Every structure is written in structure tokens, then in C-alpha cells.
A and B are shown apart, each in its own frame.
Chain A
Amino acid sequence: MNPQKNNIWMFLASVKLALSILFLLAAASIIGTILPQGEAAGVYRDFYTTSFGLSGSSADILTKITFQLDLDAMYQSWWFRGLLLLLSLNLIVCSIERLPDVWRLVVLDNLATPLDRITNMRTRRQYTTNLGVKESCEAVSAKLQTRGWQTSRRDRDGGTLLFAQKAPWSRLGVYVVHISILTIFTGALIGSIWGQKGAVNIPETLTTDKIYQFGPGTPIDLGFTVKCNWFHLTKYPNGAPKKYESELVILENDEEILTKTIAVNDPLTYKGWTFYQSSYQSHQKFIISVANSDTQVEERFLAPPKQAVRWQQENLLFGIQELIPTAIPGNYKYKLLLSDGKGGQKIHILPDNEQLTINQEDGSSYTFHVKEFYSTGLQVAKDPGVWIVYLGCGLMLIGLWVAFFVFHKRLWILVSREQDTTHIFLGGTTNKNKAGFETEFNTLSDSVADINQIEAQ
């Protein structure tokens, strides 16, 4: 590597760059939350004059700058995406740069640690015993084993070395977090390339095989048909919306494939497309369903209030004469006017979305059902990257947990014989949470001192 390339590489690997990018992203995001997004020039001009009290000419200049720097669509702008790209590069290069050293620590042969390094450790204890070296090693190993520390052993110049460690892999936690961010970015990129988002309104009982892209409104073919059987709006007693529900049917070649009642937070997914309940539209019309109770013949009619409807076949004339308000604001009962076609007329009160069977004087009987005619408003999305984003999110939480709360703890025990005494030397290190480790080390050492004939020095 030539020195100059080396400089660029080191710059890309540096924490200074990471900190600068985080700072710039934060600063840019602040601007993005203050400045309205996706508006026309006039809106920005007004924003600068009213919110900042600027004169017309300075507001004009600022508006021009706003558009030149794409501040009106900041999160989609080339430079904001550039910052995210630079952050990705930074994460990749920094990981490539540091990972080999960390990996070496993970797989390190700790039985080869220089003995003087062990005896100089900050966290250490010393014991003596009359037991032989081999017996001491076995006793200490057994003791540590009961506390969950698995020891390995090697004879060294100057004694026998025992070693035990916990979670060496936890050193990789930080890199799992870095990879998780890259994974999330990858998922987001896949979504922005192959994903599609739009909306569609389907009037009750009707179908669509297209949705309309957000923004430009370009139609997108779904490749199948969606039908809305019905839409229901339920309200709380105070009139606030309680539930929006639509029964959707997926049709392929006029064949019903799938039926599901969707609600807000409970969408329907088919062939990668997900249909979300998002809104509804009222048409000031009502669906009147009438069924002849004897013959079971049924017909549906669409009519605004105060309009007479004729069911030719059954010689029936009816209409909604009036909407009667109920205790719930915005909910109505219906005053249904029914004439038998022979001059007779009767008024019936029908609750919303409920059936009422009306017996006529001539012995015929009809069941009426009235509800408001709505279009269901759906948001429709296809995002093949979303599972990768979720994978990244999961990795991030695991990575953060490991990086912050799992520690690499190492324990060396050097057993040596000098004259007639066996010396047992314990030393330990950890990469995080030194105070917590100290306590654990003391407990472990105390348990070693519990072994018969071993005495603390």
C-alpha cells in the first residue's frame, strides 16, 4: 500500500470520521424536522418571512438555496444519501481494520501468556499449600468447574498453568452492531429499488387490479384483483372512531383465492403486496338491501336520502326519507318509507347496519338492511427489503447487548513448587466492568481458599 492510499484508508477507518458523520447527520436531520418537506417554492418563502421574520429579498435567496441544496426533500437528497454511504464505508473499513486484531484476542492461546505478565496483573491472589502440584491443579480445576469455569492446562517453564475464560466472542459484539447497521441499510436500499408504495380507494362491492403510486399517482398493475365486500366504521359513544374494517377478497381469474377482514394494524398480504386500512370516503349514499322473505330473492340498491327507489320485479317502492341522529355523534337511524305499490305507505325506523323484517298487509314480507355507502381507503406496499431490515434490527439488539453487557473474563492459575511448598497464583482480567469482575474474582479466589490445606498468603 502506498502511503497516500494508506492515509485515505486510515481516514475512512477513523472514529473521528464516524463522529463527524454522526454530527452531520444529526445536524441535517434537525434542519429536516424544522424546514417543511416536499413543498412548493411559495411555502418556503412564506416560511422564511413568517417564521424568521426575513425580508422578501432574503427569503427569496434562502428559498433558492433551499432548492439548490435539495433541502425541500432533504432525506432523499444526494448529499444526505452520500453521508449515509460514507457512514457505511466508515463502518466497513473500520471493521476490516480492527477485526483481525480483535479476532486474534478471541482465539488467542492464553496458555502461552508470559508468566511474569500473569504475576503482575492488577487483579491477583496468592496461596500456598502442602499439596503437590498435580493434586493442587486438580483440586483448583474441580473447584472452578463447580462455579462454571472450565480450565485447560499446560506445563510451562516455572510451573503448571491453568486457564479458564468466559465469552471471548463477546469482543465481537461491537462489530455485530456495525454489521447490523449495514444490514438495515441494505434492506432499505432493496426496498427503495424493488419496493413499491401506493394507495387505492375501492368502493364497497367493487374491485380494482391497480393501485396508484404515492406522489406521481402512476397506476401500478397488481397482477390480481382485489374486491372490497364491505367497509365498516365503528364509533365510540363520544363519536371518535373506534374501528375501521374492510372485508377484502383476492381474486385471480374471477376465482376467490383469499378473504380477510382487515383493520388498522391488521393488514392483508398476498404475493408480496400488503394492503393496509388507512382511510375511508363517504359518498352521501346508502346501500339498501331488500330480500323477499318467502322467495329469498334479494336485491341491492344505491340511493341518496330522499330518493325513491323502485324494485320493479317485486313492485316495491321505497326510500330513505330522513336520517335520524342517534346518541353517538355522526351515527344515524333511518326513516324508511315503504309503499306497497297500491297507494299504501308506511314509515319504518331502521337502525344502521341491522336487518328489519317488515310484514306487509297483503301477507308478503321483506327484510331491509341499510348502511352508508363507503369507499375503503387502502395503502398498499410491496417491500422485499423489510425482512432484511428486521434482521438488522434483531442483530443490532443482540450486538448491543453483547457489546455492553457480556464481558470477556479471563482467569489464569499458575501452580509452582518451590522447596517444600506449592504456590498457587491467581490472576484475572476483563475487557469491561472492572469493578464487577473484581467482586467475582474475589469470590472465586475465596472458593479456592476453601480447598483443604490451601491457605491464603
Chain B
Amino acid sequence: MDSSSLLSLSTFGYLAATGAYLAAFLFKSKKAGLAGTTLTALTFLLQTFALGLRWYESYQLGAGHAPLTNMYESLVFFSWAIASFYLILEYKFKNRSLGAFAMPFAFLAMAFASSGWVDQNINPLIPALQSNWLIAHVVTCFIGYAAFAVACGIAVMYLLKDKAPKSTGLLAALPDLKVIDDIIHKSMVYGFLWLSAGIITGAIWANSAWGTYWSWDPKETWSLITWFFYAAILHARFTRGWHGTRIAWLAIGGFLCVVFTYYGVNYLLSGLHSYGGS
């Protein structure tokens, strides 16, 4: 088996996990919840192995590099980071209902990666990408993106629970609004730290490649816009006490910024990160 087929398999793994978590949520089934966790953990291990295998394969092909260099590989890593971040959350907060809202993102990232819209080949690296900063930059950015994705999913959960009448039994299984609010906030804080590290590692890399750490390239600028957005949310919360519905909507808005930075910029605007599009 090669890494591509293992990664396709992990797409189905995350789909099944999402399904199990949804079933656990909709039918209040403990067994389904356990199945969700098991499937997520197993798929996560499979995906970790597949990423390692792809790394190894790239050396076999004479293009040896970490599997973090194009749209396909970044989507796979994005989904991997979402799954790992979610598993930590589930362990910390001991609540499986989060899975129904977080794991769809891991599945969607893999589904898009495998959709045929994205080139799945292992390509050799152009000179600009041959740098150790590549790994640091991509890893930090995508851990941040993953945390923002999960924050967005949990924000949807908050809005659902907030909108629904109190008596609805289905939503009673969800954590208290206060707890959900706390998880959204913590995820965003965590993402913000990693996004900052991602922007910084990118700047250092740019300086070692071109002698300019900041050139207002569209991708750089959009990452900064995203950073401004989350910085504003955190300030609104810390100093003006914003919470609840407002923060939930902002978490969704923030993730839209992330999606545009990650995906939209490659297709709608041109710039230094053009290689990220292939």
C-alpha cells in the first residue's frame, strides 16, 4: 500500500468518525460516541503513518522533503492537526459531543484533498522551498489554522444550543454554554499563539531567501489581517468582557478569514506563495 491509498482511507476514517459522533449526538448513544473516539484515534494513527510513508516515498523518488509542500500535503496536515487538536480537547473536557462539530473539518479537509481538484503528486522542491524554515512555517501555521477550525465548529455548537429552547432534550447533552464559551476562547488563544509563530517563521524564512522579512505579498497581508481579527476578538473579550453569542459569531468570522488566507488568496490573488496553489 502506498501513502495515497492510506490517505484516501483516512478520508473515510474521518467520515466514519464524524458520522459516529453525529449519531452519538443525535441519538444520545454512548456506544456511538465511543466508536467516534476509536475511529478518530485509529484514523489519526493511520494518517500519521501515511504522512511518514509519504515522506519516505519522496526520498525514493529523489525529491526528498517533508510532506508539507503543496496544497495537497498542507490539507492532509491540516486535517491531521485538527484531529490531534480535537483529541486533546476531548481528553481535557471529557465531552464527546464536541466531535460532531469539530471532526467534520478534518473530514472536509481530507475530502477536498482527495477530490481530484488538487494535485496529489510528490513533486521535487523548487530552490526557494528548500529550507528548514519550511517545516517550521507550515507546521506552526497549520496548528494555528486547526485550532481556529475547531473554535469555529464549537462556535456553531454554541449558537445551536443558545438558539434552541431550553427544553430540547437533544441539546441538553451538550456542555453548558459557559463551558462551550470557554472552549471557543481557549481554542482561539491557542490558535493565535501558533498563528503568530507561523507569521514570524515565515518572515524569518523570507528574509533568509530574499533579504526582506515583509513584502506585503497578499498571503502575508491576509495572514496579518487574520491576526488583526483575532487580536481584536481577544481584546474585546479580555478588556470589554465580550463573550457568548458575539464571540461565537466572531470565531466563525475569524475562521472565514483563515480559509481566505489559506485557500482564497491562492486562487484570487497572485503573489509569492503561488507554489502553494499547485
Contacts and interface: CB of A to CB of B under 8 A. Distances in A.
A370 interface: no
A240 B127 CA distance: 10
Nearest to A30: B225
Contact of B182 (A26, A238, A435): A435
A191 to B, nearest CB: 9
A264 B209 contact: yes
A250 interface: no
A377 to B, nearest CB: 12
Nearest to B200: A393
Interface in A221-238: 236-238
Interface in A419-446: 435
Given A19-B236, A404-B193, A33 B211 contact: no
Contacts of A274: 211
23 contacts: A15-B240, A22-B235, A23-B232, A25-B228, A26-B225, A26-B232, A29-B228, A33-B269, A241-B127, A243-B130, A244-B127, A274-B211, A276-B211, A383-B211, A386-B207, A393-B203, A397-B197, A397-B200, A400-B192, A400-B196, A401-B193, A404-B189, A405-B193
A383 B189 CA distance: 33
A29 B209 contact: no
B241 to A, nearest CB: 11
B56 interface: no
Given A22-B228, A22-B232, A26-B228, A386 B213 contact: yes
B186 to A, nearest CB: 9
B124 A29 contact: no
Interface string A372-398: 000000011101001001100100110
B204 A393 contact: yes
Interface string B181-218: 01000000110110011001001110111111110101
Nearest to B127: A264
B248 to A, nearest CB: 18
A381 B215 CA distance: 13
B61 to A, nearest CB: 10
A140 to B, nearest CB: 30
Contact of A242 (B124, B131, B222, B265): B124
Nearest to B214: A188
Contacts of B235: 15, 18-19, 22
A379 B236 CA distance: 43
B63 interface: yes
B172 interface: no
A220 B265 CA distance: 36
A15 B231 contact: no
Interface residues of A, number: 48
Nearest to A263: B127
Interface of B: 62-63, 123-124, 126-128, 130-131, 133, 182, 189-190, 192-193, 196-197, 200, 203-205, 207-214, 216, 218, 221-222, 224-225, 228-229, 231-232, 235-236, 239-240, 265, 269
Q: Is the interface of B mostly helix, strand, loop or mixed?
A: helix
Contacts of B133: 265
Contacts of A389: 203, 213
A19 B233 CA distance: 9
Contacts of B221: 29, 32-33
A34 interface: yes
B242 to A, nearest CB: 10
Given A30-B225, A380-B211, A404-B190, 16 more contacts: A22-B232, A22-B235, A23-B232, A26-B232, A29-B221, A240-B123, A241-B126, A242-B124, A243-B127, A243-B130, A263-B127, A264-B127, A389-B213, A397-B193, A397-B196, A400-B196
Nearest to B140: A397
A383 B216 CA distance: 17
A396 B127 contact: no
A75 interface: yes
A183 to B, nearest CB: 13
A400 B126 CA distance: 34
A26 B229 CA distance: 7
User: Quick one: which of B190, B205, B212 has the most chain A CB within 10 A?
Assistant: B212
A29 B200 contact: no
B128 A265 contact: yes
Contacts of A241: 126-127
A421 to B, nearest CB: 38
A19 B234 CA distance: 10
A197 interface: yes
A88 B208 CA distance: 27
Nearest to A238: B124
Nearest to A435: B182
A386 B204 CA distance: 9
Interface string A98-110: 0000000000000
B218 A33 contact: yes
Q: Which 9 A-B pairs have the closest CB atoms?
A: A381-B211, A264-B127, A265-B131, A26-B228, A33-B218, A393-B200, A15-B239, A22-B232, A236-B124
A240 B69 CA distance: 16
Interface in A193-252: 197, 236-238, 240-244
B52 to A, nearest CB: 23
Contacts of B240: 15
A22 B257 CA distance: 14
Contacts of B203: 389, 393
A72 B207 CA distance: 25
Contacts of A400: 192-193, 196
A22 B233 CA distance: 10
Nearest to B134: A265
A278 interface: yes
Among B209, B222, B224, B269, find the residue whose CB has the most chain A CB atoms closer than 10 A. Answer: B209
B231 A265 contact: no
Nearest to A237: B62
A186 interface: no
B196 A265 contact: no
A15 B231 CA distance: 12
A331 interface: no
A357 B232 CA distance: 70
Contacts of B232: 19, 22-23, 26
A240 B236 contact: no
Contacts of B124: 236, 238, 240, 242
A263 to B, nearest CB: 7
Contacts of A292: none
A397 B231 CA distance: 14
Given A18-B235, A26-B228, A236 B208 contact: no
Contact of B211 (A25, A30, A267): A267
